Structure formats: C-alpha cells, structure tokens
Structure 1
Amino acid sequence: MNPMIWVIDDDTSIRFVFDKALDANKITHRLFENAEAALDAIKKETPDVIISDIRMPGMDGLSLIKRIHEIDENIPFIIMTAHSDLSSAIDAYDEGSFEYLPKPFDIDQAISVIRRAAVHRVNMLQMLDQKAQQAVAPITEPAHEETEIIGKSPAMQEVFKFIGRISKTELPVLIHGEVGTGRSQVAKALHNHGSRKNNKFVSINMSSVAQEMVKYELFGDASKDINECAIVKADGGTLFISEIGDMPIECQNRLLQLIQHQEYTPIGSTEQKHANVRIIASTSHDLEHMVETGAFNSDLYYRLNIININIPPLRDRNNDIPMLAKHFLAQSAIDGHTEPKKLTSEVLVFLCRLPWPGNVRQLKNLCKYLTIMVTGRDIQLVDLPSEFLHANSNQNKLNNQANVQNKENATWQDLLRVWVNTKLKSGEHDILNEAVPEFERIMLEATLNFTGNHKQESAKLLGWGRNTLTRKIKELNIN
C-alpha cells in the first residue's frame, strides 16, 4: 500500500520537515501552502490522508474539513495546531477529524499517525464495498449486536492495536479496567473479529451470581440438564467471565483444568467432558496482589495473563468525551424516537473536567437522561443533574487537599503547576500578568530579608542592576 498524503500548512518549515520525513519513509505526497490550493487540486485527484494546519491565512483547517468531506467524507483528516487548547480539540473532532496533533510534535509520531490514518482509509473503503455488496445480496442471518469501541485518544488506539493483533488467536485474554470502562465491549470485539465470530459469545458476571451458585452456572449440575451451563452454551465460541477476581477458589481450580486440557467436570459427576471454548476474562481488582495473599489461584492467573489488555479510565482519555457523548446522544435519540440533542461547548468543556468514577457507562447513562429530560435541542450547564455539578466542586476540593498534603515533598515548580491548573480550571484569564509580579515580589522580599535590606547586595544576588532593583521596589510597593 502506497497512499497519497497531502500536507497543508502555510509554514514553510513545517512543509519542509514533512517533505523530508515522507520522502525518507517512501510515502507519496503533495505539499500545499493554503487550503484553497488543496481544494482546487482535489477536483483532479483524491488523497488518502490529509494533514493540515488549523489556523492559516484564508480558509482555516476546520472549514477545509467541511469542504473536503462534502466531496469525500471518508478521507481521514489530521489537524495540526500550535493552539493545543481543549476547545480546538473539540472543534476538530466535531468537524470529523481523524486525529488531533498539537504542535510541537515528534515527526516520527506524526508519520505513525499518518500510517494509521492510511490504514483506516483502506478499511473504510473495504467496508463501503462490502456494504454495497450486502445491499444487493439477500440477508441470510441477523446482524451482530453493535460492539465497536469509540475513541481516538492514544490510550484507546493502543487498545485497538491489541484487539487487531490478538482477535485471531485462541489464547486466553485478561482485560483490566475499572467498572464502566467497556471491558465487555472489548471482549465482544475480540470475539466478533476472531475465528469464532459465527459461534456464540456467552457472558457471565461473577459479581452478580451468588457465590454458592457460580459452580453450577459455569460447569453445570450432573443431576440436572448440564446443557444449561455457560461452558456448554459457549461450546465452539467464546466464554467471557467478568470480574473473575470474585470467582470462588473451587471454581478457579476447575477453570484452570478447562484452560489447560479443554476438559471440565460437571458438579456431582466424576466424568470429564470436552469443551471447545475460548476464555476471555476481565477484572477491576489487582489480581497480582490477590495471588500474593492467596485469594486467587496463581496458576490460573499466569494462564490468563499471557495476553492482557488495560482499558484506561475515562478521566485519562477526556479528549474522547465529545465523540462518545455525540454517539450516545444519537443512540439515545434513536431509542427514544426523537431528534438527537447537542451539547454546547460550555457543557463539553465542563464534562471533560469531571472525574467520571462510573467511566463510559456513567457518560452513557447521562446522555440517556439528557435525551429524555431536556426539552430544547441544545443542552446547557443548567440541564445537568445536580450531582454532576457538585462532583466538579468536590473534585477541586479533593485536589486542593491532596496538594496541601503533598506540598512538603513538592518542588516550587510542582506548586506553581498546581496554581496554574487551579486558575485555568476555574476559568480565569490573564494569569501570567497576575503571577509575574507576585513571583518578583516574593523573590525581592526574601532576598532583602536575607541581606538585611542591603540593596546593592540584593541586586547582585538577584542578577539585577541597582537601578532595576530600586524601580521594582517602587513598582511592587515594597516597604
């Protein structure tokens, strides 16, 4: 595959760097210094990936996305900007960009993103071709339940890479992640993209089954119909065991036998039965610690932990929140037979700052609530449930408390960062003009105190001239 890449930037140095890097990687490309030139060129040829600056003379990058996607909505667009603020990221994703690349960036990272976008382009064209064929072909079986995972953040891209690499294997997989991060979606994606996709995907949650009933639910009761147990139902397919850390030790030993020998023994029987199932497990617990304390079978842990996937909490990938919210609102609108609601920029920024203890599931439930409760089309801050508004203020309090507790070990640079983050999160502006005078005041007062108010010595220690020190004392009104 040799994709055609277009680079659009009014900065000559940026174009030069991309020209050399793409040449070095033997990637075909064209360079444009403005959006208008690219729009003119697309009448004659179609690029596979476009990487463009967001702020340029004339037409900007976001406007260019709209115009390009009117011609071909499946061209991946990578937005570059030196203004890496949250609102720019939100705008870029809202307009359909594939990735958001803040300047300065590592050119190798940029090439990696371009390659990923090119692969995405190929996959999209293949999918469209398949849909076109399916449109004229008779439907022979019901469509799979939607299990695709949404996210463009680097952390989620790593998850996607894992799914792509291991979905075709038969090895057990262990999925780590907090409650609500989408562990079951990852398990379904592994199944649906694997060789067992035409067979059953059976899920059982250890935390929702009574401990004394787990063994019967998994391995069956010999005195009853064992065909009702999870292993038999999943034969030939995938068995997903959620919250495996809550599985009783007796069942852990039985599951180990299944993974090692593809055999199991129903409860109340001595006869071993064969089972062809792939095991995928998930946990929100620290299984390694549980192994150390004897709460989890060490052999089972190492059998499961051959391949592990870590799903990040939502708070660690908040740039995914705008696209997740848009998806959930559209989904809720379909379910509720209504028009989809839209979050205002103010609400999006607010949601991106929340701690999200319930992760993606909590965001999905919020979107369902807003679809039902908000009468207008645009969702405002006042439309959010009170617990969300309180969550933000409570999080700020916790952050402040943590900062106070840790300040003995913190450097002055750490404390400055805390101050800056606090100011920015509270929506304040012009903070540099507030900080610099205070910084100079503290430096002056501490140095004057150290020298016993000796101005010439203080100026020398600060690296100033005597006149500069005198002027600063007057400006800052230091006595």
Structure 2
Amino acid sequence: MKPIWIVDDDPSIRFVLEKALARENLPTRSFTHPREVLDALADADASDAARLPPQVLISDIRMPGGSGLQLLEQVRAQQPGLPVIIMTAYSDLDSAVSAFQRGAFEYLAKPFDLPKAVELIRRAVEESQREEIIEEQQPLQAEMLGQAPAMQDVFRAIGRLSQSQVTVLITGESGSGKELVARALHKHSPVSGGPFVAINTAAIPKDLLESELFGHERGAFTGAQTQRRGRFEQADGGTLFLDEIGDMPFDLQTRLLRVLSDGHFYRVGGHAPVKSKVRVIAATHQDLELRVRAGAFREDLFHRLNVIRLRLPALRERKEDVSMLARHFLQQSARQLGVEPKRIAESALQRLEEFSFPGNVRQLENICHWLTVMAPAQQISVKDLPPEVLQEHPGAAISSVVPLTEAVPPVSVESGFGEPVMAAAGGVEPQAASSADELLAGAAMLTWEPLMNVQARALLESGQTDVWDVLSRRFESHLIRTALLVTHGRRMEAAQRLGIGRNTITRKIQELGLDVSEEH
C-alpha cells in the first residue's frame, strides 16, 4: 500500500500521527517542509517500493519552509485525485475557506482528537483507493457508462449491430440517454464516416416539421426565399435520428413510411423526386403499440421502424450505476466550469441511489452540475444534496396500482385528474392540506393510476371514440400546470424538471389552450 505523507515542522505532531497510523497498519512518510514534499513527489515511482507516491497527504498550514495552502495548490496541479488534509492551529474562517477552495479533502483543527483524526485519514485513504479503481475502469471520455446487467445488454446489442445498417427503434423514458445510444450505433456502424443528423419531432411545430424533414423549394410557402435541404438530404450517406417519433403528426407518418420504403421523397413545393440513402434510428418514450391501437400511430410505420428494438433501462432500474455516473458528471462539470472536481461522500451516494430519478440520467447530470456550483465544501455530504432528493419519501419511486376488480368508488366522467377525483376516491380534500408534506402524505396513500383506469373504462364503455385525446389532454394539462406552479411560472425550468424541451412545453401550452404567464 502507498504511504500516508505527513508534512509538519512540529516533530511532536509527526510522531503522534506516525504512531497512531502504524497501529492501524497504515504506512507513513514524514517531511519537515513543503520543498521536501515536492522533490519527493517529482521522484516518486509506483514501481519502486522505496519511492511510492502518497495515498494521502496531511499538511500543516503554516511552516517555516512555506505555506500548506501553496503546497496544496502545487500538489493538486500534479495529482488532482490525491486527497489532501490541511492541519492548522489557527482555526479561522479564512483558512478553512481557502483550504476548501483549493481542493482540500478536509480541514483538521489543532489540537485534534487523535481517534477522529485517524478515522478522517482512513476515509481519505478509502476515497483515494476508490478513485484509483474508477480511473482504471472508466475511460476519460467514455461514450456511455454502465455496469448494470441491463446496460451491458445494451452494449452487447450495439456491438452485434456494428456491422449492420438495419433500422433500430430505441425505447426508454425521457432522460435515459436514447440519443447517446443512437450516436453510439452510428459511430460503430458501416456508415460512421457519414453525417449523424438528429431531429426531435416533438420540438418542432407541425407546420414546420415537413419542411425540416424533407426540405422545401423556393417559393413553396411564405418566407421560403431559397431552396432548403431537409434532414433526409443532410443525412445522406449517414444516419438520421428521429427522436420522439411517437409525437409525429399522423399525416407526416405517411410520408415517412414512403421514404423508408423506397428512399424517395419530394421537397415541399417540389415536383422532382429526391433520393437519399440514409440509415434511420428512431426513439420514443411512448408505448407505440398503445398508440397504434388508439389510432394515433400507423401500424405499418411501426413495423417498418420496429426491425430491431433496444430498450434503454430507467436509472432506477440500474441503481448500481448511480455512483459511477455521479462521479463522472462531477468531473465533467468541474472541467466545464474550470474548477476543482468535488468528491462525494458514501452516505450522499447512498441517498442518491435511493432516489427515484424521474428525469433519469439527465436529472442526475443536472444534480451533479448543481452540486459543483452550490455545494459549499469539496466533500459533498447528504445535507448538500438538492431539495428534490432530500424531500423524497422512502419508497416514493414504488407505486402500487390497484386492479379494476378492487372496490373503487365511482368517479364522475366529467372530472379530471384533479381535486374532485381525489376527494371521491380517497375521501381527502386536497384543499385541506396545509403543506406540501401533507399533500405528499396523502398522495402516498393513493396513486393516480386506478383513478385513470376508472375514467378510461367509463369513457370507453360510453362509446366515446376520442378517449386517448381526452385523457391525454387532461393529464398533460395538470402536469404542466403543476410544473409551472412549482417553478413559479418559469417555463424553461418547468420543461427541464419535466424532462422535455422548452419548445415542447411552449407548444403544449398553446395546443392545450392553457392560460399561463411566464415570470422573468
């Protein structure tokens, strides 16, 4: 094992720490001033037992040979992953802040309790060893990360498809990384030398989507001043990624089917056929079989896209990957912001693993970016986690759906997913709840799925033929209103929390006729 390096001009401190660590079977190496440490660091060799680099560095803050804070900066520049513990008899705020700003693992005030100091050093050793294992296992710029069996299945599928140009349908919840899979499929395919063109069909208004996909001729419509190549032409010889294909308007589905059938299409306003050789990868968070049965998605297009299907697991289904992903995103955020990467305590990682992550990997990435900016110390503890993680009740990610055969009080067909339904089904008036905690407590006793089942059954048995649209509009309306209420009307933040794009939430507000105003 690599030694613990101790640098302090006080021989009594060095002696006490050496003896205490020896009792813990932790090897040590001591220095009297920073210059010795830097020389030894330059001469360190992991293959030579006599010149092993440090596992952890413990340094005094004020020494005749130089400042411990300056040493911290120089050491971190050479070995960013090395935990450094700063000791000082001057327990002032400036020293503590300076130590953490420069990337110290922890701040130890003298005189210290020896057992607690040893416990802190052992935590630093464990952190250092964990980082070494992660660096060995994880490439710096990995395309995708995942050790969970479900993700390994995805990786194997990408490998098997690497020699094929077959059409692939990727399914999975919003934020689970469907575009990353699409990019990996392209990169490891015979057309990797061609372009990768992505388009989110849900984020573009219906009137513009046709032109975006197929292009338009000059004068085809008002504002078409020049000829424009569509995404199919732009992706010629490569891959076209159609994200959120389940939201594509029905009439455009017909045009897409024709292109997939023979590779020919017409630009908007054009009369000459255009041919484009493109590999198509589609993705959706929706159940396309249900969309087909509801008449909202063409069955022949579904079968054309569903040649090979890859299901991407939600993050709550791959809890064992949360730790690896969190560390990766903390490193990534630190590089983007030009700051020292923060470390995360095991207790905080455990709390993250217990979180349901409705926004999946994208939400975890956002949380890590938030922690890089907002966490006060270099070591992230449980109390530093954002409110949505800390406030989630245990088991909140698990919902029990009540079968229709169970006794559920009748609910008015006219009522939405809102207050009348909850009052009728659970006997609890939401207006009576005096806090968000009470609302959460009430919601924990009742899930919305059985209520939707009752309404859907009543509408279907009444002979109504637009049940999908009716219930979808109610659901989306309540979801968007609630998100805007939580974010005080800020659409961008609401869209981010819902896991959709800003263009999507704006379009939905318009389509649903919601009377909302945006705060600035």
Instruction: Report what 1:396 is aligned to.
Output: 395
Instruction: Report what 1:193 is aligned to.
Output: 188
Contact 2:356 2:396 in 1 (8 A): no
Instruction: Report what 1:216 is aligned to.
Output: 211
Cα deviation digits, residues 131-185 of structure 1 (max 9, x gap): xxxxxxxxxxxxxxx6711101100000001111113211111000000000000
- Report the alpha carbon displacement of residue 398 of structure 1 after superposing the two structures with TM: 7.0
In 1: Cα distance, 2:212 partner to 2:355 partner: 38
Contact 2:169 2:306 in 1 (8 A): yes
C-alpha spacing 1:237/1:226, structure 2 compared with 1 (3 Å)? farther
C-alpha spacing 1:341/1:227, structure 2 compared with 1 (3 Å)? same
Q: Which runs of 5+ in 1 are unaligned?
A: 1-34, 36-58, 60-69, 72-89, 100-116, 128-145, 410-479
Secondary structure of the 2:202 match is helix
Secondary structure of the 1:240 match is strand
C-alpha spacing 1:403/1:273, structure 2 compared with 1 (3 Å)? closer
C-alpha spacing 1:197/1:227, structure 2 compared with 1 (3 Å)? farther
Secondary structure of the 2:146 match is coil
Instruction: Report what 1:11 is aligned to.
Output: none
In 2: Cα distance, 1:237 partner to 1:189 partner: 13
Cα deviation digits, residues 22-72 of structure 1 (max 9, x gap): xxxxxxxxxxxxx9xxxxxxxxxxxxxxxxxxxxxxx9xxxxxxxxxx67x
C-alpha spacing 1:207/1:301, structure 2 compared with 1 (3 Å)? same
Instruction: Report what 1:166 is aligned to.
Output: 161
Runs of 4+ in 1 over 2 A off after TM superposition: 90-99, 222-228, 268-271, 395-399, 401-406
C-alpha spacing 1:350/1:309, structure 2 compared with 1 (3 Å)? same
- Report the alpha carbon displacement of residue 341 of structure 1 after superposing the two structures with TM: 0.5
In 1: Cα distance, 2:294 partner to 2:402 partner: 34
CA RMSD of aligned residues (A): 3.4
In 2: Cα distance, 1:314 partner to 1:348 partner: 14
1:283 has 2:291 as partner: no
Instruction: Report what 1:184 is aligned to.
Output: 179
Cα deviation digits, residues 249-269 of structure 1 (max 9, x gap): 121111111111111121222
Contact 2:172 2:284 in 1 (8 A): yes
- Report the alpha carbon displacement of residue 287 of structure 1 after superposing the two structures with TM: 0.3
- Report the alpha carbon displacement of residue 226 of structure 1 after superposing the two structures with TM: 4.6
1:203 has 2:198 as partner: yes
- Report the alpha carbon displacement of residue 95 of structure 1 after superposing the two structures with TM: 5.2
- Report the alpha carbon displacement of residue 315 of structure 1 after superposing the two structures with TM: 0.2
Contact 1:207 1:243 in 2 (8 A): yes
Instruction: Report what 2:266 is aligned to.
Output: 265
After TM superposition, the structure 1 = structure 2 runs for residues 15-54 of structure 1, keeping only pairs within 5 Å, are: none
After TM superposition, the structure 1 = structure 2 runs for residues 316-395 of structure 1, keeping only pairs within 5 Å, are: 316-391=317-392, 393=393, 395=394
C-alpha spacing 1:397/1:183, structure 2 compared with 1 (3 Å)? closer
C-alpha spacing 1:371/1:217, structure 2 compared with 1 (3 Å)? same
Amino acid paired to 1:396: G
- Report the alpha carbon displacement of residue 396 of structure 1 after superposing the two structures with TM: 3.1
Contact 1:370 1:383 in 2 (8 A): yes
Contact 2:183 2:196 in 1 (8 A): yes
Cα deviation digits, residues 204-231 of structure 1 (max 9, x gap): 0011111221111101122344543111
In 2: Cα distance, 1:385 partner to 1:329 partner: 14
Cα deviation digits, residues 417-454 of structure 1 (max 9, x gap): xxxxxxxxxxxxxxxxxxxxxxxxxxxxxxxxxxxxxx
Question: How many residues align structurally?
Answer: 281
In 1: Cα distance, 2:288 partner to 2:402 partner: 32
In 2: Cα distance, 1:91 partner to 1:405 partner: 50
In 2: Cα distance, 1:165 partner to 1:317 partner: 22
Amino acid paired to 2:318: R
Amino acid paired to 1:369: W
- Report the alpha carbon displacement of residue 91 of structure 1 after superposing the two structures with TM: 11
TM-score (norm 2): 0.50
In 2: Cα distance, 1:377 partner to 1:361 partner: 23
In 2: Cα distance, 1:255 partner to 1:337 partner: 44
C-alpha spacing 1:378/1:98, structure 2 compared with 1 (3 Å)? closer
Instruction: Report what 2:28 is aligned to.
Output: none
1:154 has 2:155 as partner: no
Amino acid paired to 1:152: Q
Cα deviation digits, residues 292-329 of structure 1 (max 9, x gap): 12111111111111101000000000100111011100
Instruction: Report what 2:79 is aligned to.
Output: none
- Report the alpha carbon displacement of residue 377 of structure 1 after superposing the two structures with TM: 0.9
In 2: Cα distance, 1:164 partner to 1:279 partner: 18
Cα deviation digits, residues 59-109 of structure 1 (max 9, x gap): 9xxxxxxxxxx67xxxxxxxxxxxxxxxxxx9997552799xxxxxxxxxx
Secondary structure of the 2:197 match is strand
Instruction: Report what 1:96 is aligned to.
Output: 133
- Report the alpha carbon displacement of residue 375 of structure 1 after superposing the two structures with TM: 3.0
Contact 1:226 1:266 in 2 (8 A): no
Secondary structure of the 1:180 match is coil
Contact 2:216 2:229 in 1 (8 A): no
Amino acid paired to 2:181: V
Percentage identity across aligned positions?
40
In 1: Cα distance, 2:248 partner to 2:171 partner: 16
Instruction: Report what 1:416 is aligned to.
Output: none
1:237 has 2:232 as partner: no
Contact 1:347 1:380 in 2 (8 A): yes
C-alpha spacing 1:165/1:228, structure 2 compared with 1 (3 Å)? same
C-alpha spacing 1:267/1:384, structure 2 compared with 1 (3 Å)? same
TM-score (norm 1): 0.54
Amino acid paired to 2:256: L
In 1: Cα distance, 2:128 partner to 2:317 partner: 20
In 1: Cα distance, 2:335 partner to 2:318 partner: 26
In 1: Cα distance, 2:397 partner to 2:374 partner: 30
In 2: Cα distance, 1:203 partner to 1:177 partner: 17
Q: 2:170 aligns with which of 167, 172, 175?
A: 175
Contact 1:183 1:282 in 2 (8 A): yes
Contact 2:169 2:310 in 1 (8 A): yes
In 1: Cα distance, 2:284 partner to 2:403 partner: 31
Q: Which runs of 5+ in 2 are unaligned?
A: 2-24, 26-45, 48-126, 408-520
